[in-house]
Structure 1
Amino acid sequence: MAATDNDTLIRDFVNTFNAQVADALGPFLADDVAFTAYGDSPVEGRDAVIALWKGVFANFEQVRFETVHQAVNGHIVIAEQIHGLALPGRKLAPVMNMAIYELRDGRIAAWRDYTNPAYASTLLQA
């Protein structure tokens, strides 16, 4: 991971994420990272976040993030994203999402995903 700035670091993270290899996310995450998705309780710690994504990658046929817009202000990166999610045998659901990343020492210390979970559920069931 050789990101030269916070914008590039998050773009590299999303590209790595799209390979759907949860262990590859580790170098991007602080030891004490806190991840909150779609209003769920936070998941804390690098190992716990990696374990969560291992489960997601195993349960979904497709998981793909696409960044639409991204803004950086110091150690904060805000990314408007489309989370492409597909359950087995279902079509890809384009879930609009706002991701907030807080960086510390070149790693993600906090990651929050905001979306409407009811809307996401409706898209996933279609």
Structure 2
Amino acid sequence: MATPIETVTAFFSGWTGGPGALQELIAKYFTPETVWETIGSETTYGIDQAIDLCNRLENDAPPFKFVLEWSAIAADGDMVLSERIDHYYNLDGSKRTMIKCMAICQVRDGKIVMWRDYFNHSDWAAVLQAPEVAA
């Protein structure tokens, strides 16, 4: 079985943007009891609520590509603390923005049972802005 760090890195590294990508990872790595909390935003309980939130976020954000850069990751038992930089790109490859994030996840039996994310929500506003279109 994968270690907690391997589970968390597989989950986060599997997301590259695109419709439904995060939802597929949630279905694979979450449990019916998983709590996903983004500090300062909505908390979800279980797979269905998490997928519903992703669907709503996708509807709010223009299409993008996503690249994750790991800054640090460490585990203490089943708890994994990570720092990452989420890079968001327009579909033409131009950079939209980046968000520096901290996350803590709890892993049991290869599944994420708790994910708490911390980031500046004003940075998320840049993801929601439509890309500029050249005239």
Q: Do they superpose with TM above 0.5? A: yes
Stretches of structure 2 that go unaligned for 5 or more consecutive residues are: none
Amino acid at match of 1:52: L
Higher alpha-carbon deviation: 89-98 or 68-77 = 89-98
Give unmatched runs, 5+ long, in structure 1: none
- 1:9 corresponds in structure 2 to 7
Other structure's SS at 1:17 match: coil
Counterpart in the other structure of 1:31? 32
| Alpha-carbon shift at residue 84 of structure 1 (Å) | 1.9
Residue pairs, 1:1-126, within 5 angstroms? 4-18=2-16, 20=18, 21=21, 22-57=23-58, 59=61, 60-86=63-89, 91-121=95-125
8 A Cα contact 2:2 2:110, kept in partner? no
Runs of 4+ in 1 over 4 A off after TM superposition: 86-90, 122-126
Letter in 2 for 1:91: K
| Cα distance, 1:25–1:72 mapped onto 2, change above 3 Å | same
Cα distance in 2 for partners of 1:63, 1:91 equals 10
The TM-score normalised by the length of structure 1 is: 0.79
Could you tell me which amino acid in structure 1 is paired with residue 86 of structure 2? Answer: H
How high is the sequence identity, in percent, across the aligned residues? 22
Aligned equivalents of 2:85, 2:58: Cα separation in 1: 17
Q: Count how many residue pairs are aligned between Structure 1 and Structure 2.
A: 124
TM-score (ref. length: structure 2): 0.74
- Structure with higher Rg: it is 2
Asked whether the 8 Å contact 1:34–1:110 carries over to 2, the reply is yes
1:41, distance to aligned residue in structure 2 (A)? 2.5
SS at match of 2:14: helix
Counterpart residue type for residue 56 of structure 1: L
Q: What does the per-residue CA deviation read over 1:71-112, in whole Å, with 9 as the maximum and x for residues that have no partner?
A: 111010011011223577873211100011011232111111
Q: 1:26 to 1:79 in 2, by over 3 A?
A: same
